Amino acid sequence: MNAPLIDPFARAITYLRVSVTDRCDFRCVYCMSENMQFLPKKELLTLEELDRMCSTFVDLGVKKLRITGGEPLVRRDIMTFFQSMSRHLESGALEELTLTTNGSQLARFAQPLYDAGVRRVNISLDTLDEEKFARVTRWGRLAQVLKGVDAAQAAGLKVKINAVALKDFNEDELITMTQWCASRDIALTWIEVMPMGDLGNEDRVGQYWSLKDLRHQLAQHYTLTELSERTGGPARYVRLEETGQKIGFITPLTHNFCESCNRVRLTCTGELYLCLGQEDMADLRAPLRNNPKDDAPLQEAIHKAIGLKPKGHDFDYSRQKADGQVTRHMSHTGG
């Protein structure tokens, strides 16, 4: 049962993304509806169960653990989880413990996160315009997030900004955001909007800004050099020669990156999704809770699930509709 996790396409699964809550203090238009119905708390894994689940994955060869949400830092007592998981960093079993956040709570938690062994954070930030930020997040305040960025850097955390490319929204900020990140020694990654969640209120095709076009616009201002670097994620990188900074592109629509996929995603209820863009999942909460003293059934369930991992997703906008759409919101799976 302690054998490494290898999927049917000979890909080693070494990266686990874990949603610790479906709740968030923002309501970003591409992530969730404004009036979300959140899960009953009894359905969520406890922090102790999350620890046991993640530790089992580490025992099976997972080397990178990314904590997500919702917004992970709104979960009550979440720092006890980070502090507990740091033992795997100290033992060397886990190579990296990190998180993706909207930045709203980083002013409070940046230093404790660093003390727990976190060295990098991804902050979701799609615009530097206060009015547009309020519009895209619905409930967010830009000043609070920028304060979080300051706190993260002051604590010694390496910051990367994740920006969702949205047509007719942040196209005019491409150079502004590039320059702002360069001035702060912050990496920047652009992400194509994905067809996830209830499309009744949001037009995913209308929101879609191809990163091919974004990259072409960037090349009008900078010299782009391709980088072979891979960080275990789906991004492809270039270096801007004029600034020396690294820009990433995550392109699930214009370039399918599935051939090198090394990750799976665990929801806060213990559902294991083998692919962000597929509905197939395995319930790991039952073997976890039904066997409180024995991890073997959980390990068996994990191995069985990995054996069902698909080759890739089916996202496609080429026919001017959101083909490959999945019904769950991005916040449910944790991005």
**Would the annotation count 181 as a binding residue?**
no
**Would the annotation count 31 as a binding residue?**
yes
**Would the annotation count 66 as a binding residue?**
yes
**Would the annotation count 62 as a binding residue?**
no
**Would the annotation count 317 as a binding residue?**
no
In whole angstroms, what is the distance from residue 326 CA to residue 252 CA?
14
**Would the annotation count 263 as a binding residue?**
yes
**Would the annotation count 194 as a binding residue?**
yes
Report how far apart the first and last C-alpha atoms of the chain are (Å, whole number): 28
**Would the annotation count 41 as a binding residue?**
no
* Among the listed residues 57, 124, 127, the one whose alpha carbon sits nearest the alpha carbon of residue 88: 57
Q: Report in angstroms the alpha-carbon separations of 127 from 134, 152, 190, 331.
A: 10, 19, 12, 20
**Would the annotation count 100 as a binding residue?**
yes
Instruction: Please give the torsion angle defined by the CA atoms of residues 14, 20, 22 and 27, in that order, rounded to the nearest 10 degrees.
Output: -90
* Among the listed residues 194, 190, 172, the one whose alpha carbon sits nearest the alpha carbon of residue 240: 190
**Would the annotation count 75 as a binding residue?**
no
**Would the annotation count 54 as a binding residue?**
no
Residues 6+ apart with CB under 8 A from 255: 236
**Would the annotation count 275 as a binding residue?**
yes
**Would the annotation count 70 as a binding residue?**
yes
Binding region for S-adenosyl-L-methionine: 30, 70, 124, 194
Known binding residues are 17, 24, 28, 30-31, 66, 70, 100, 124, 160, 194, 258, 261, 263-265, 275
Which residues line the annotated binding site for GTP? 17, 66, 100, 160, 263-265
